[in-house]
Structures are given as C-alpha cells and as structure tokens.
Structure 1
Amino acid sequence: MAPVAAATAADTTSASVSKPATTTAAPAAIAWEHRLRPTVIKAGDAQPAWSLSERMAHYRVPGVAVAILRDGKVVSSRGYGVRDSVSREPIDAQTLFSTGSVSKVVTAATTLRLSAAGKLDLDRNVNDYLKQWQVPADPKWPDARITLRMLMSHTGGFNVHGFPDLQPGEPLPSLLQTLNGQPPSKTEAVRLIHAPGAQQDYSGGGVTIEQAVIEAVDAHGLDAVARREVFEPLHMRRSGFIAELPATTANVARAHDEKGQPTALPRGWESFPELGASGLWTNADDLAAFVAALLGSYRGSNDFLPRALATAMMTEVAPGNFGLGPRLNGVGRGRVFHHGGANDHYYAWIEGHLDSGDGLVVLTNGAEGDRLITEIRNAVTDAAHWPLNEPVHSVTLAADAVASADYRGNYRLDPRQPMDLRGVLADMFDVESLAIGGDDAGAITLQAAGSKRVHPLLPLTPNRYVAPEISVPATTLQVEFHRGADGRVHALTVLCGESRAHYLRE
C-alpha cells in the first residue's frame, strides 16, 4: 500500500491552480447536453431528449465531469454541477473523483509498461515474482499456473469480485491483509474458485495479486510506479493511487447518497485501500489524457506502449470479453474499449474508439451515477454520430399473434456449449436455469433461478426480446426463442454483445 504522504504530493501542488472549465476546439465540438435518452425505448414512446441538468436532478447526482475525444485529441473537458450539495462549489475539469474499477485499467497500463521494459513477463507464473505472499495451492488444480495475462483479463479463476468502501476513521488493511482476508480487511482470502483460464469471472482479488506482483518487482509501491510509468509521462498531475485521500485536499467531488445528500462525513469521501483494483483518484483532464494515450499507442501515433503490446491489450482473452485491462465490444468502426467504475457514491466511465480515435470520460459523485452515465453516453453517441450504441426500439405485437404461453416454462443452460461462446455471460449472467413467465395479454418476463427479481422483456421481433432493466456495459441483454419445425419452442439463447448462452427447455 502506498503511504498517504507520498500519494498527496500529486494533488496538493496543483489543487489551487485555476484552469478553464472547458477546453474546446470549435470545429470538433459537439452539443450533447440536451440529448440524454435511455438505451431501450418502449413501443409507442417518443424518443426523449432530456437535458443534463434535469437528469442530474432526477437521479440526485450533484456533480458530473465529462471529457470528449475526437481523432485522439481531447476536444472538450469540463464540469457540470457542484462538488458538494451544501457548499455548492462548482465541478471543473480538474476536480478529483474516485474512479472505482477504472483503476484496473491504469494498473494494467502500469503492468504493460513494466512488461515493455522487460521487468515483467505476462505469461510467467506470478508465484515466481511474489515474495511475501503466494497463490494458495488448491488440490483441485495442483498444477495451477497463474499469469498476469490471466489476472488482467479476469480469467485467472479467482474470487473476491469487489471491495467495500471504508468510512472515514475506519482502519485500512494492508495489501497482505487483503490477500489473506485478515482484519481489518472485510473480504475473504483471495483464492482460486475456477480452473485457471477456464472462464471469465471478474475479480478485484485477481487485480490485487497483479498489484502485489508490481510491488514485488518495485518496492516503491504501486502509486510511485504508476507515477513514473503512467502519470508523469502523460502529465496526469492530479492523479494517484491513494488509499485515504487527506481531508485537506482541495477541489474534490464529495460523496452523495441516493437522496443527493452528503455522506462519508465528516471528511466527505470514503477510503479505498485496494489500490490497484479501486484506489485511483483522478479528474476528467487526466483521465482523458490516459484514454488518448491508449488510443494513440494502438493507432501508432505515440510510443506510450509498443504498438504490438497495445494491440494485445485491445484483444479479447478467451473465453471472455476483457483484453489486458479493458473490456472490448464491437467490430470495425464500432470497435471500442471501455471500463466502468462503481464505488458506493462514485461512478466512472471511460471508452475509446479504436478505429476513429474518439472517446469519452464521465465522472460522477452520486449513488445513482451509473444510470446517469448511461444516458450521458447515449447523448454523446448520438451527437457525435458514433457508429454504435443506437437506441433499441421495442415493437408492438398483437396479443393474438404471439401466444406467450408458447414461451413460458423453465429453461436450463446447455452443458455442451463451449465457454468461448458464453464469454462474458459466464461472468455477469452465470445462471444455470431460467423461468420465462407472462400473461395472456402477451407480456413476457424473465426470472433467474434463485432470484426474486422478475424482469420484463420487450419484443423486438416475434421471437426476440430485450431486457431493459438488466444493465450491462455498453450493450443490452436480449433473449431469442427458438421454435422448431414441429411448431414447439424448444430452447432460447441469451445474447449480450458477441456472447451467447444457450438454454434448453425442460
């Protein structure tokens, strides 16, 4: 864990420097602030064009920072709203936010820079590097060999999805305590739960091992290594991996609950000691520079990362949709890398379009920020005419044309399906059986086994439906029913991006 004193150097020196809230190249600027919309639009409903201010009020999110990139350059970076709903101090492009799991992409970039320098081998057993801690042996997989490539793509097979935020004054666990699941850590010990490389299962625990590897080859700690390898080369002057951001730090977006009220008092923000997984504090300007650097490396316009390594970073590691750090979606001009961040009261988003060099950064300081980010992303996509993320319009089907009874019943995951095809669904929708319900008026619902939540499905075609209430990054979750030549529905497929999960009717 990086010492607090070292971490604060990055933000105190520039915190008082006044910078313009907006830096815009006029020819490339876009107007998106009055184009917010949902992803799925119900049949018969007009596509809304909400304003950012009204949706911030709707979700009770006091502050937002947004940066937009075009052709690898930052064309707009500015703040909206306030850092604190009580003091009403404004957000600007230099305001610090906690970024949650966006931290993992910066950690990955740090690892890749060390790999490019010959200090780390992405395919070497991490136990060869680790000193104070070793991946625990498991009799189920006695020959397990864990690599950084696995950890960065969430295919290592580890537990501990994420970490709880810690309130001001709570004791902070060390890296070793977190790995061992020892107090004051609030999570279990990091251990294998799947065969290494067999499936994607998102793991903050795995990224914590990645952090331990970095710190094993450089004893200065993650923040210092990232400062040398990432923050300083990219002029990210207010960024840092900081376990406990000091209360004296200037220009910080404070945490707000679901009612828009300040929380994590008296300081105003939580602590995030699992640095590599969720400990990054940064701002819109800095994070946009980071996205631009990754795009430039991939497109060959800079040498932040060697182009071959940047290409590997932006290529899925089977059987999931993660590359070496970011998630990946789409093909051709619609190919994007992205990652979200979700702490209790801070939500963040980055994305980069690998063909065009366009990109987006969104930072929020409210408990409902994730829903607001989706609508902001939709607005920017529409205004910039990006070839992806189009609105999904459901259709109206006559009640007597499609008998929902044909679809109702229980469906079980087909065990013969290759994990390479399930991809991300083996992680975010790891459901063995589904119940499809509905009524005689034509309504269709989906319920996962073991869950009390019943999700409505809206028709896109007579046999394909979308689940508007199931949130998935950068796409939608859809269900396609398969009716055979005998007229019977015998199976369904759940679709999410390029991933497919096939279920047989029981």
Structure 2
Amino acid sequence: MLHHSKPGRSRPLAVSAAVLVAMSLPLQAQTPPQATGSPAQYSAVPVTAAQIDHAVANLDALAADILERSGIPGLAVAVVRDGATVYARGFGLRRVDAALPVDADTVFLLASLSKPIGATVVATQVSAGVVGWDTPLVDLLPWFALSDDWVTRHLTIGDLYAHRSGLPDHAGDDLEDLGYARRQVLERLALLPLAPFRATYAYTNFGMTAAAEGVAVAAGTDWASLSRNALYGPLGMTATSSLNAEFMARANRASSHVPVEGGYSVADLRQPDAQSPAGGVSSSVNDVARWMALILEGGAPLIAADALLPAVSPQAIASPPGTMDARGGTYGYGFNVGVQPSGRVMLSHSGAFALGAGTTVSMIPSLGVGIVVLTNASPLGAAEAISATFMDEVQFGHSTRDWFAAYRPMISALMAPVGHLAEVERPETAAPPRATAAYLGTYQNAYFGPAEVVEQDGGLALILGPNRQVEVLTPWDGDAFTYLPYSENAPDGSVSEVGFAAFTDEQAQEMRIEHLDAFGLGTFRR
C-alpha cells in the first residue's frame, strides 16, 4: 500500500504498482509499438525468432564444451519452444565403465527437479477440487505435528511447498541418511525447533514430502501412483517414475557417479524413495520436455490456470538481496521464481545429489522457451552453465559471461566435506583414550533413536539407525574419537567428532556426535 499525503486528507490511498508505473510514464511512452500486455509483463529487451533459432543451433557445441571442461561422464539436454520439443540430445556416457551413449531417452535421477514436477501433481488435485493450496495438512494427516501446536493447526500444503513452515534447513535429511523410512522421518519432525512461521524460508525436503503425502491421502492413493495417474500418464511421460526400483530397472539408465582421483566412478548409491515427492523422480529429457510444455502453456489442458498460477508465483523470499542493487530471489510452490537481467520472469529449479546427480530446468513464459539439462555426476555447475548460457543467447544474442567458471566454485563449495576435523591432522600431543569399558553401551536419543558403542577388532565401533550402520571409531584426543560418515549429506572426506562426557564410576553418560548435531540434537545419553 502506498500512502499519499494532501492538505486536509490523511486517509491512505492504495495504488497498484502497475498503475503507478503507467502514471509515471509520458503518454506516448505508455504503449510502445513492441509492448503487449500490462506494464508488469513488459520487457524492454526484444527477442527475435532468429535469436532463439541461433541459441538452439549453438547447443551442440555448448554441451560438448561443458562436457569436456567438467569431465563428467554424461548429460542430456532438451528445449521446448511454443509447446513443441525443438531440441533433444544426449552427450557422453551413461556410465564410465561401459560404451553406452546417453541419448534423449536416457533416464536420470532428477534430484530436486522432483519439486516443481511434484508441485504440478498437487496442482492437478487443486484443479480437480480434491485439495487447495490452503488446505491445512492436519485435515489430511491427523497424525502429523510440528513442535508448536498453533503452527500444526494452521500449517497448509502451500506453506510446506513454499518452505515457510519454520522447519530448519533440510530437516529430516539426517534421519534419511541413517536409513529411516518416510513415515518415521515425518513423525520425528515434531522434535525439531521452529523458526517464525511464514516469516522465514528454509529448504526442507521432508516438509514438502509431508504435504505431498497429505495430497495423496486426499486422493485415496499413494504418492507414486498419484503422480503416475495424474501427470505422467496423461502427458505420455512413459520413462518417468517416482519409485527408485523402477529407475534402477530401466535398460536405458544413467548411472550415478562420484569423483575419484583421476575422474569418476559409478556409485548408484542414492535411494531417495523416503523423500520421493521432493527428490525421488527419475526421467528423461524427452519426458521432462513434455512437462515443460504443460507449464509454459499455463497448465492447459490438464490443469486449470488458477490452480497452477499460485505455484509459479512468488510465495516466499528465498534469497533476500545482499545489496541495494541486487535482485532478490523468490520461491513459489515448488518453483524458483526469478527475474532475469532482461526483466523477464524465469521459472527454474536445480537438483543435486552429492552421490551423483546434477540437474536444472529453466523456463521463460513470456518467450514460451524452456530448457532442461540432466547430468549423471555430483554437481559441478555443468547443468546450470549450459542453461544460463543458452538463456543468455536467447535473450541477448550472446553469452554475457563464462557461466561454468562462475558456477563451478559456488556449487563445489556446497559439496565440500563436513566436520571441523576434516583434513586436520591428529595432534601430536593427543591424550590416549580411557579403557574401552568406559565407553561401551547403549545411548538414547529421541530424534535419532538409540546408538550403541561396541567393541570391535580391539577398538570401538558406533552402531546407528534402523539399518544398524557400523562406523569405526578412531581415537582422537582423550575422550574424543572420530569416524568417517559417507552419505548424501556427508561427501567423501567428511569427518565427525564423537565426544564422550559426564563420566560416572568411570563410565561415560553422554555422547555427542558432531555430524548429527546440526539442530542441537546430537547428544545421546545412557
């Protein structure tokens, strides 16, 4: 609301931003020949058909260049324009140890590209009147709760799809790493501290998964079946699935790869079914192109426009600007919603698995153009570089910068080992540990469950999670030990300190596991 003061008048006057812009322009400048739609839709940077043609024609060379510079095994690219797939091609290999080329039908793990696709599944149910974006989740999942009763009662599907529930960043991912199933993770979210409701943004795979579970219950089915029946089937996305077993069974499948000295090795370790609505979709670029065409057509004919529009509209401030001259970033319901330097709105999302996937999608509705890039290796910014370069060429006729050089250090930093002792040498003056018996036993934790310290091969081992993962404890300094976690959230080279404390009768009563202490819940007690 804007406030205008005049003598003798104190009532505020509401004026829309679009009207204000129009009022500030000279009359002859309000409707220039090339402008259509409202001032809010106007871009002062014209784009010709030939410009888009040129950008598409450059994709072969661009993708080949990024494949070589990044060293990743393989990638695939598809472009949609005016409702049709105008480019779809694979580059490199499905796996480094076999001569199996990637093509446009090769199926990849999408990682977090699952979020906008899953949000589209929800939009089909909003369109059908099964749920609304404002439906309270407890109306659908009475057993679901957060640590604040008021928030629990008011939390909606939209709140969770916009990451504004107050849950901490990546809440529940640590439980998934330990082997907990979806329902087990969702129930434990009630133990986490909350930031202010609807006032903070924090990216949460399992918050979004909870909302999707509620939608599936309302539809009378499970999430994977709902996705297949409501979206994948109607669009002809025959290579797309929300079940990891179906992905692993595909003949034309891109294996996941992780970096090793001198290159990459096949991992195929990521099993994302627990968070499938947020990270468990697998698909090909040909299939994702069909979905992009649907989004760029405003949902027609599958989804009513007013059911999709909230998802692709700003709902939360995801990245506040750091300076006065910087653009901020916003998030809709499962979609990043941003503004390009050209002034055009772009819908996007990236996906990343440290255990071997890097993906991205970008769409400019005003141009009817979208691009998807899927890769089969831990993210380096290769997918984002291809997408950003292509969108530069579409909008400006040339690339404005070396996008791979820009993205690589930023994204590589996100994949760095965790733990304050990573790459740190043990102190030469380190004290020896106590006798083994001082540490043995079972320690309890409401969030993570029990943890056992047992004797193994003359030393100590830590047993965690429902799958009883065994971690070897190495003496560090006195009552401090270390182990080497390796999971989606702890890349190779990570080190976790395990500290024992509160000794009674020469037995530790507490154990703090650094790797599990992100939310202050990493202390286990006898």
Question: TM-score, length-normalised on structure 1?
Answer: 0.61
SS at match of 1:261: strand
Between the aligned partners of 1:71 and 1:28, the Cα distance in structure 2 is 16
CA distance in 1, matches of 2:251, 2:175: 21
Query: Quick one: structure 1 residues 125 and 192, their matched pair in 2 at CA, closer, same or farther if it must change by over 3 Å?
Result: farther
Residue type of the alignment partner of 1:271: Q
1:220-251 per-position Cα deviation (integer Å, ceiling 9, x unaligned): 21111011111011110110101344644211
The question of 1:208 aligning with 2:209 is answered yes
2:91 paired with 1:80: yes
* Corresponding residue to 2:144 among 128, 134, 155: 134
Per the alignment, residue 281 of structure 2 pairs with: 280
Per-residue CA deviations over 1:302-327 (Å, capped at 9, x if unaligned) read 22221122222221014441112100
The 10-residue stretch of structure 1 (170-179 or 271-280) with the greater mean CA deviation from structure 2: 170-179
Give the aligned residue type for 2:334. G
Q: What SS does structure 2 have at the residue aligned with 1:93?
A: coil
> Aligned in 2, Cα 1:328/1:248: closer, same or farther, shift over 3 Å?
closer
The one-letter code of the counterpart of 2:336 is R
**CA RMSD for the aligned pairs?**
3.3
What is the identity, as a one-letter code, of the residue corresponding to 2:75?
V
Q: Which one-letter code corresponds to 1:31 in the other structure?
A: A
Larger radius of gyration: 2
Task: Answer yes or no: is 1:30 the counterpart of 2:56.
Answer: yes
Separation in structure 2 between the aligned mates of residue 228 and residue 124 of structure 1, nearest angstrom: 22
Structure 2 residue matching 1:378: 3-state secondary structure: helix
Structure 1: runs of 5+ lacking an equivalent:
1-25, 37-51, 182-187, 394-427, 429-449, 453-506
Deviation at 1:172, TM superposition (A): 5.4
Q: Quote the residue 1:329 is aligned against.
A: 338
Question: Structure 2 matches for 1:116-155, cutoff 5 A?
Answer: 116-131=127-142, 133-138=143-148, 145-155=154-164
Instruction: String of CA shifts for 1:396-443, please: whole Å, max 9, x gaps.
Output: xxxxxxxxxxxxxxxxxxxxxxxxxxxxxxxx9xxxxxxxxxxxxxxx
Structure 2 CA distance for partners of 1:202 and 1:271, relative to 1, 3 Å: same
Compute the displacement of 1:53 (Å). Answer: 3.3
Q: Post-superposition shift, 1:154?
A: 1.1
Q: Which residue of 1 aligns with 2:31?
A: none
- Rounded to whole Å, the distance in 2 between the matches of 1:116 and 1:304 is 9
1:270 aligns with 2:279: no
- Within 5 Å, give how 1:63-462 maps onto structure 2: 63-131=74-142, 133-138=143-148, 145-161=154-170, 173-181=180-188, 191=192, 193-245=194-246, 247-259=248-260, 260-264=263-267, 268-273=268-273, 274-297=275-298, 302-320=300-318, 321-330=330-339, 334-344=344-354, 345-367=356-378, 369-385=379-395, 390-391=400-401
| Identical-residue share of aligned pairs (%) | 23
Q: Distance in 2 between matches of 1:334 and 1:389?
A: 17
Which amino acid is the alignment partner of residue 262 of structure 1? S
Q: Which structure 2 residue ranges, 5 or more long, are not aligned?
A: 1-51, 319-329, 404-410, 412-419, 423-526
Give 1:373 shift: 1.5
Amino acid at match of 2:313: T
Distance 1:244 1:163 in 2: 22
Alpha-carbon distance, 1:142 to partner: 6.2
- 1:99 and 1:363 in contact (8 A); partners too: yes
What is the DSSP-based 3-state SS (H/G/I as helix, E as strand, rest coil) of the residue aligned with 1:233? Answer: helix
Does structure 2 conserve the Cα–Cα contact (< 8 Å) formed by 1:342 and 1:370? no
Structure 1 residue 177: Cα displacement: 1.3
Contact 1:115–1:122 (8 Å) recurs in 2? yes
Amino acid of the residue matched to residue 177 of structure 1? Q
Q: For residue 290 of structure 1, give the secondary structure of its aligned residue in structure 2.
A: helix
| Alpha-carbon spacing, 1:387–1:275, altered in 2? closer, same or farther (3 Å) | farther
* Counterpart residue number, 1:57: 68
The structure with higher relative contact order (CA 8 Å, sep 6+) is 1
Q: 1:143 to 1:68 in 2, by over 3 A?
A: closer
The amino acid of 2:102's aligned partner reads: I
The CA distance in 2 between the partners of 1:336 and 1:53, in whole Å, is 25
Q: What SS is found at the alignment partner of 2:381?
A: helix
Question: Aligned letter for 2:290?
Answer: A
Deviation at 1:144, TM superposition (A): 5.3
SS of the aligned residue for 2:87 comes to strand
- What count of residue pairs does the alignment treat as equivalent? 340
Q: Deviations over 1:279-304 (max 9, x none)?
A: 00101001111111011026xxx222
State the Cα distance separating 1:59 from its structure 2 match. Answer: 2.1
SS in 2 for 1:350: strand
The DSSP-based 3-state class of the residue aligned with 1:119 is: coil
How far apart in 2 are the matches of 1:376 and 1:162? 31
Q: What do the CA deviations read for 1:90-119 (whole angstroms, capped 9, x no partner)?
A: 101111100111111111111111111111
Distance 1:113 1:334 in 2: 26
Q: Tell me the CA shift for residue 194 of structure 1.
A: 1.6
Counterpart residue type for residue 401 of structure 2: P
Normalised by the length of structure 2, the TM-score is 0.59
Structure-1 separation of matches of 2:175 and 2:95 = 20
